[in-house]
């Protein structure tokens, strides 16, 4: 029997994932995600596109300076200034990689780059050689490879390996490929690129036709040694191949695929929650592996089967991906130590002051709510992690609403030790609360999206409000949690104001004044 191959997991949540609309993360959030990826034992973390902005550069540099157990990569076009920026940003990394790319398909050559085949080969080779001056570990991607003529792809791949590329990544940039076809492409490269044995073949699939994971696995069967993916499948347009699906497919069907990964699968669920929390993008309920319904059994016949023998309807064990059981965990008499242990078993790695703040919130919640579940604790911590610079905190909110009444809200916010109260009217109580918060903070934002969901069941369930706002041309999502939905709405908006203040500070602007 053939030996089981280990597939390298290259995570690009912080690059391809972060660059998709509404998914931007600040430096602290990127570091939090990078730490989680390291705890999951991913092989490579693509930390950003160093040339894209000073914020991207800083993030790549910070991840490179802190992460010791994974390779840290930065993306570059085949341009000197890009490669220099990547080289400088990843310098502190213990295992640095530069990832250069150049589009190769006819449509990109003609309409985007306006270059002939020969020029594309030269650009790619020069890019790899330039990157080699900074690091030994160089990855090359022929962008839009799946729509590139196969003979030309063979020519480019052969040339970049000769120039020193140690990994060649084959992207299905626009999610166009079909699994059998994509597998054949990988086989074709293995059979026709004369120096293919000198580089690892990687794949990078987008999900436009919902086939990113299927295409990646077809490529693995055909001999690919690295898969690029993102947590929760976030990424450009319909997203990238989702890491949890790739890893659990390999974990569950290693017998068929004859491959394995080094991923700590118990961190999958906490990582999914963390990424959802910092981006504000909720995971769809029926999402494979990490969706809320992934391990729920509703039909009577299924429940009966599950009770008789779990494997009748479950091909993965929830505990293997770190899904917390929704049992009663702690009450108002529980101490800080028990709370800390519980957060650790949920996969969070909080520092002293973060634990203190989360514990205080937990105590307040336990006073209000009879039963505190794991999911309640997760929501508290997610809200906590999301707080950026906590300039404003919510101290009180009161509303009057109903038929034949003008909705009115009175809000009190604190800034350092100063308390400020204002009142406003609106189209509804939440609108009035948002108007009052904007009057107090002096920060004007446009609300683009508002959604509310119950985290657990029961009358005293916590409500989680997620909002998307636009501020100064940037969009971001924040969330707020409370047993009172108006308060949860206010918390989400105060978090957005704090994010706007952080953005102003990062841009060297004086934050808005009341």
Give the residues lining the site for ligand KIV (CB under 6 A): 16, 101, 141, 143, 169, 171, 173, 204, 206
Minimum distance of ligand KIV from residue 240's CB (angstroms): 8
If contact means CB under 5 to 8 A according to the sort of partner, which of Zn ion, ligand KIV, none does residue 101 touch? ligand KIV
171 vs 179, beta carbon nearer ligand KIV = 171
Residue 205, H or E segment: strand 200-205
47 vs 346, beta carbon nearer ligand KIV = 47
Strands 5-6 and 259-260: parallel
Instruction: State the DSSP string of 412-434.
Output: EEEETTEEEEEEEE-SSHHHHHH
Residue 510, φ and ψ in degrees, nearest 5? -75, 125
| Helices 429-441, 485-506: crossing angle, 10 deg rounding | 30
78 vs 379, beta carbon nearer Zn ion = 78
Minimum distance of ligand KIV from residue 206's CB (angstroms): 6
Angle (CA) 82-83-86 rounded to 5° is: 90
25 vs 212, beta carbon nearer ligand KIV = 212
Q: How many CB atoms lie within 10 A of CB 486?
A: 20
If contact means CB under 5 to 8 A according to the sort of partner, which of Zn ion, ligand KIV, none does residue 232 touch? none
C-alpha distances (whole Å) from 464 to each of 323, 447, 455, 480, 482 are: 19, 17, 7, 6, 7
236 vs 435, beta carbon nearer ligand KIV = 236
Q: Which stretch binds Zn ion (CB under 5 A): 15-23, 146-154, 274-282, 463-471?
A: 15-23
Minimum distance of Zn ion from residue 376's CB (angstroms): 36
Minimum distance of ligand KIV from residue 88's CB (angstroms): 20
Minimum distance of ligand KIV from residue 12's CB (angstroms): 7
Q: How many CB atoms lie within 10 A of CB 199?
A: 21
Minimum distance of Zn ion from residue 441's CB (angstroms): 37
Q: Which stretch binds Zn ion (CB under 5 A): 9-17, 399-407, 424-432, 496-504?
A: 9-17
Return the bridge partners of 439, or none: none
Produce one character per residue of 294-323: b if its CB has 16 or more CB atoms within 10 Å, e if not.
Answer: bbebeeeeeeebeeeeeeeeeebeeeebbb
Q: Which tokens is 440 given?
A: 């107090």
C-alpha distances (whole Å) from 195 to each of 124, 158, 164 are: 16, 6, 11
Question: Could you give the CA distance from residue 326 to residue 309 in angstroms, rounded to a whole number?
Answer: 20
199 vs 203, beta carbon nearer Zn ion = 203
In the list 8, 15, 16, 329, the residue contacting Zn ion (rule: CB under 5 A) is: 16
Q: How many CB atoms lie within 10 A of CB 159?
A: 19
Minimum distance of Zn ion from residue 53's CB (angstroms): 18
16 vs 144, beta carbon nearer Zn ion = 16
Minimum distance of ligand KIV from residue 120's CB (angstroms): 15
216 vs 489, beta carbon nearer ligand KIV = 216
18 is a site residue for Zn ion (CB under 5 A): no
Minimum distance of Zn ion from residue 57's CB (angstroms): 20
If contact means CB under 5 to 8 A according to the sort of partner, which of Zn ion, ligand KIV, none does residue 141 touch? ligand KIV
146 vs 443, beta carbon nearer ligand KIV = 146
Question: Could you give the CA distance from residue 421 to residue 415 in angstroms, rounded to a whole number?
Answer: 11
If contact means CB under 5 to 8 A according to the sort of partner, which of ligand KIV, Zn ion, none does residue 143 touch? ligand KIV
Site residues (CB under 5 A) for Zn ion?
16
């Amino acid at each position: 029997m053939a030996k089981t191959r280990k597939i390298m997991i290259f995570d690009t949540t912080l690059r391809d994932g972060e660059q998709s609309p509404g998914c931007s993360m600040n430096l602290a959030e990127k570091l939090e995600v990078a730490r989680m990826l390291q705890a999951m034992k991913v092989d490579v973390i693509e930390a950003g596109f160093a040339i894209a902005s000073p914020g991207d550069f800083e993030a790549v540099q910070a991840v490179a300076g802190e992460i010791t157990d994974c390779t840290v990569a930065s993306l570059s076009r085949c341009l000197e200034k890009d490669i220099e920026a990547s080289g400088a940003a990843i310098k502190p990394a213990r295992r640095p990689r530069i990832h250069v790319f150049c589009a190769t398909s006819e449509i990109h050559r003609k309409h985007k780059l306006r270059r002939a085949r020969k020029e594309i080969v030269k650009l790619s080779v020069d890019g790899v050689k330039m990157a080699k001056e900074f690091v030994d570990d160089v990855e090359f991607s022929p962008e839009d490879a799946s729509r590139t003529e196969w003979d030309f792809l063979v020519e480019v791949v052969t040339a970049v390996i000769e120039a020193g590329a140690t990994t060649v990544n084959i992207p299905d940039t626009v999610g166009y490929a079909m699994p059998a076809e994509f597998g054949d492409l990988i086989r074709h490269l293995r059979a026709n690129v004369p120096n293919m044995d000198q580089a690892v073949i990687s794949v990078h699939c987008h999900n436009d036709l919902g086939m990113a994971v299927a295409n990646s696995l077809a490529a693995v069967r055909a001999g690919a040694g690295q898969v690029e993916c993102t947590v929760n499948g976030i990424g450009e347009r319909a997203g990238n191949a989702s890491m949890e699906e790739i890893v659990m497919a390999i974990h569950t069907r290693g017998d068929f695929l004859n491959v394995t990964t080094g991923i700590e699968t118990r961190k999958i669920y906490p990582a999914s929650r963390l990424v959802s929390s910092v981006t504000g993008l909720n995971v769809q309920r029926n999402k494979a592996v990490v969706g809320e319904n992934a391990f729920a059994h509703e039909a009577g016949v299924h429940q009966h089967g599950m009770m008789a023998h779990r494997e009748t309807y479950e091909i993965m064990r929830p505990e293997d991906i770190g899904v917390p059981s929704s049992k009663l965990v702690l009450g108002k008499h529980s101490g800080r130590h028990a709370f800390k242990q519980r957060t650790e078993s949920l996969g969070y790695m909080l520092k002293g002051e973060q634990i203190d703040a989360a514990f205080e919130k937990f105590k307040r919640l336990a006073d209000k709510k009879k039963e505190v579940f794991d999911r309640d604790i997760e929501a508290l911590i997610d809200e906590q992690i999301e707080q950026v610079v906590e300039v404003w905190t919510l101290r009180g909110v009161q509303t009057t609403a109903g038929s034949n009444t003008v909705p009115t809200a009175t809000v009190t916010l604190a800034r350092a030790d100063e308390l400020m109260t204002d009142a406003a009217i609106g189209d509804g109580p939440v609108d009035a609360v948002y108007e009052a918060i904007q009057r107090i903070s002096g920060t004007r934002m446009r609300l683009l999206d508002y959604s509310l969901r119950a985290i657990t069941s029961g009358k005293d369930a916590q409500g989680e409000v997620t909002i998307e706002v636009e501020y100064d041309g940037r969009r971001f999502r924040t969330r707020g949690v409370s047993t009172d939905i108006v308060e949860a709405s206010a918390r989400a908006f105060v978090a957005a104001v704090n994010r706007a203040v952080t953005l102003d500070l990062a841009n060297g602007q004086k934050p808005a004044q009341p």
